[in-house]
Structure 1
Amino acid sequence: MLWLVVNPFIFRPIDRPAHWIEKGVLGERLWLGRNEAAAVYKWSLRVLLLLGLVGLAGMIAGMVTLNLWLAIGGALVVMVAQIVRLRRFADIYNLYISNL
């Protein structure tokens, strides 16, 4: 919760994205706004969300059962799925910009 409060003061607003992660943030905004460019990636983003939820379940199960490898494996799946989702959001942004 503290990070959500402090984050806007640490990082400046993005005017012209230079890196794929900045484009990913703006692409996520397009996705949330139901932009037409985002519809192309609808299926893959849902699969990645499902994969992340499976990883989250594995991570929680690993923590509850004190299984270190299951917890680490689940966390790894969550992180990889989220990074790939962010990359898809960057693709949405690039597609949107190319259609302007």
Structure 2
Amino acid sequence: MTLENKISQLFQMDDATWTRHANPWSVWTRNTVLPLLILAIWSRVWLGWWSLLWVAVALLWNWVNPRLFTQPETTDNWASKAVFGERVWMNRNQIPVPARHQTMPNILTTVAAIGTGFVAWGVIELDLWITLFGAALIYAGKLWFLDRMVWLYEDMKDTNPEYQSWLYSPK
């Protein structure tokens, strides 16, 4: 089982939730989680232990977001295909992905993970520049990763009937 599968299970992502998460509003608003989490942790300076409430709210938003939006009217867009590519990537142990797609997602995940370390350091030390540097690494890694997932989905959509079924446009 891949790390991505374990995270999906932790977030209780079933097919219906993945379909709703393919709504571009879900994809784009999910980018608010990191700044909310940073602000919530940083607020310990002003709120003390009450800041944990805002950390919980940010984490809850991370869990609720893929469930909040409706199934998209069309999935023929970058954001939806990025979500589909994530699902294809998660399924790579069952349906192998082409060799050209096997390295870069791991590199980009590592970039985002390194950024997470800088964000943690920055919010612990209350250093805005370290925090922003880390956030920039996270966003660069994650958004580039998502772009690679679009490419992966485009390459894989015709290899599996389930993958094909995810893509639809209004009639």
Report the CA distance between 1:42 and its aligned residue: 1.6
Instruction: Letter of the 2:154 partner, please give it.
Output: N
Q: Which residue of 2 aligns with 1:94?
A: 154
Q: Bigger shift: 33-42 or 65-74?
A: 33-42
Q: Does 1:80 align with 2:149?
A: no
- TM-score between both structures, scaled by the size of structure 2: 0.51
Q: Which residue of 2 aligns with 1:20?
A: 78
Structure 2 alignment gaps of length 5 or more: 1-58, 161-171
Structure 1 alignment gaps of length 5 or more: none
Q: Which residue of 1 aligns with 2:87?
A: 29
Do 1:26 and 1:90's aligned partners in 2 also have CA atoms closer than 8 Å? yes
Could you tell me how far apart the structure 2 residues matched to 1:64 and 1:11 are? 34
Could you tell me how far apart the structure 1 residues matched to 2:64 and 2:103 are? 32
CA shift in 2, pair 1:23/1:59, >3 Å: same
Per-residue CA deviations over 1:29-78 (Å, capped at 9, x if unaligned) read 11111132355312101110111111110111111111110001101110
Q: Flag the structure with more relative contact order, 1 or 2, with Cα contacts below 8 A and sequence separation at least 6.
A: 1
The alignment covers a number of residue pairs equal to 99
Q: Which residue of 2 aligns with 1:7?
A: 66
- Which one of 103, 106, 116 corresponds to residue 46 of structure 1? 106
CA shift in 2, pair 1:56/1:12, >3 Å: same
- TM-score between both structures, scaled by the size of structure 1: 0.83
CA shift in 2, pair 1:13/1:41, >3 Å: same
Identity among equivalent pairs (%): 24
- Which one of 116, 119, 139 corresponds to residue 59 of structure 1? 119
CA shift in 2, pair 1:79/1:33, >3 Å: same
